[in-house]
């Protein structure tokens, strides 16, 4: 007997973000042309006019200025029609004063959801899970988060992770557990004996051992 289970691929960290064209609440877009030169956060929600999704989308909208200050464009998605999206945006604005100014993709044919592995059949075959894709200015996927339908995302963690990615790129360092802006960072471990000896003689860093060292970066 043939297995009729549909398997959807999902992009991986380091992949070029799959391209697509879509209708959104701000007009038609080609994703590779959207917000060129900026970081992008592509995030999905299961459905319009639902409570958890409303809190999440409001969370993104309320912190829009922070994303703007980090050269980051937002773009949402759900498997709903453009008319549903527009009505929901207007409903939330009328009831709470929060306005979703970022584009929201109307993915009725599930094309983008399938392209990005947002459909998880054991969770739902008709609603996208709560996915978050961090995409850098070179259009490469740098970090992926997936949440089930019944658990809302943590906006502080999304912003913290974005800070970490950008800071790491700028300063060529790594981030330890629970890192946040202003904390010490991890210095890359030495790759040669000479580099190890230099590390051991360097008093400007906090050295736990030659392979594990932290330092402050003042910006």
Tokens of 52: 């958890």
Looking at the domain assignment, is residue 6 inside a domain?
no
pLDDT of residue 18: 97
Residue 218, pLDDT > 90, answer: no
Same domain, 51 and 136: yes
By residue count, the chain amounts to 219
Same domain, 83 and 113: yes
pLDDT of residue 7: 57
Looking at the domain assignment, is residue 14 inside a domain?
no
15-28 average pLDDT score: 97
pLDDT of residue 219: 76
The answer to whether the beta carbons of residues 74 and 101 sit under 8 Å apart is: no
pLDDT of residue 1: 44
Same domain, 36 and 59: yes
Q: Show Cβ contacts of residue 172 under 8 Å, excluding neighbours closer than 6 positions.
A: 188
Looking at the domain assignment, is residue 4 inside a domain?
no
Q: Show Cβ contacts of residue 192 under 8 Å, excluding neighbours closer than 6 positions.
A: none
More confident residue, 24 or 202: 24
Mean pLDDT of the chain: 93
For residue 42, the enclosing domain spans 21-171
Same domain, 65 and 100: yes
Number of domains in the chain: 2
Q: Write the pLDDT tens digit of every residue in 32-59.
A: 999 999 999 999 999 999 999 999 999 9
Same domain, 198 and 219: yes
Q: Write the pLDDT tens digit of every residue in 101-116.
A: 999 999 999 999 999 9
Same domain, 111 and 192: no
Looking at the domain assignment, is residue 12 inside a domain?
no
Same domain, 104 and 124: yes
Boundary (domain end) residue, out of 152, 171, 190: 171
Same domain, 59 and 79: yes
The answer to whether the beta carbons of residues 44 and 129 sit under 8 Å apart is: yes
Looking at the domain assignment, is residue 78 inside a domain?
yes
Same domain, 179 and 152: no
Q: Residue 207 forms beta bridges with which residues?
A: 213
Same domain, 31 and 72: yes
Three-state SS string over 158-170 comes to HHHHHHHHHHHHH
What pairing do the DSSP bridges indicate for beta strands 185-186 and 212-215? Answer: antiparallel
C-alpha span between 86 and 81 (Å, rounded): 9
pLDDT above 90: percentage of residues in the chain: 80
The winner for highest mean pLDDT among 88-102, 118-132, 179-193 is: 88-102
Looking at the domain assignment, is residue 1 inside a domain?
no
Residue 133, pLDDT > 60, answer: yes
* Active-site annotation, residues: 53
Tokens of 160: 């913290």
Tokens of 5: 């289970």
pLDDT of residue 199: 85
Q: How far is CA 50 from the centre of its chain?
A: 21
The backbone region for 14, taken as left when phi is positive above 0, alpha when psi lies in -120 to 50, beta otherwise, is left
Question: In what order do the strands lie in the sheet containing 21-24?
Answer: 27-30, 21-24, 104-106, 72-78, 39-44, 130-135, 141-147
**What CATH number is associated with residue 105?**
3.40.30.10
Looking at the domain assignment, is residue 32 inside a domain?
yes
Same domain, 186 and 145: no
């Amino acid at each position: 007997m043939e297995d009729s289970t549909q398997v959807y691929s999902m992009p991986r960290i380091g992949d070029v973000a799959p391209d697509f064209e879509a209708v959104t609440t701000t007009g038609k877009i080609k994703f590779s042309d959207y917000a060129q030169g900026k970081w992008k956060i592509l995030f999905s929600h299961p459905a319009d006019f639902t409570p958890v999704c409303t809190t999440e989308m409001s969370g993104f909208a309320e912190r829009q200025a922070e994303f703007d200050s980090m050269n980051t464009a937002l773009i949402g998605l759900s498997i709903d029609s453009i008319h549903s999206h527009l009505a929901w945006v207007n409903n939330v604005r009328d009831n709470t004063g929060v306005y979703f100014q970022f584009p929201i993709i109307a993915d009725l044919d599930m094309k983008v959801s399938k392209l990005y592995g947002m459909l998880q059949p054991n969770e739902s075959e008709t609603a996208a899970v709560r996915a978050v894709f961090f995409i850098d200015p070179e259009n490469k996927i740098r970090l992926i988060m997936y949440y089930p339908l019944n658990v809302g995302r943590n906006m502080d963690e999304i912003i913290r992770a974005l800070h970490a990615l950008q800071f790491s790129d700028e300063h060529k360092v790594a981030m330890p557990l629970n890192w946040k802006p202003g904390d010490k960072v991890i210095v890359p471990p030495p790759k040669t004996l000479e580099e190890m000896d230099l590390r051991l003689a360097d008093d400007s860093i906090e050295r736990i051992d030659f392979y594990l060292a932290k330092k402050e970066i003042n910006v």
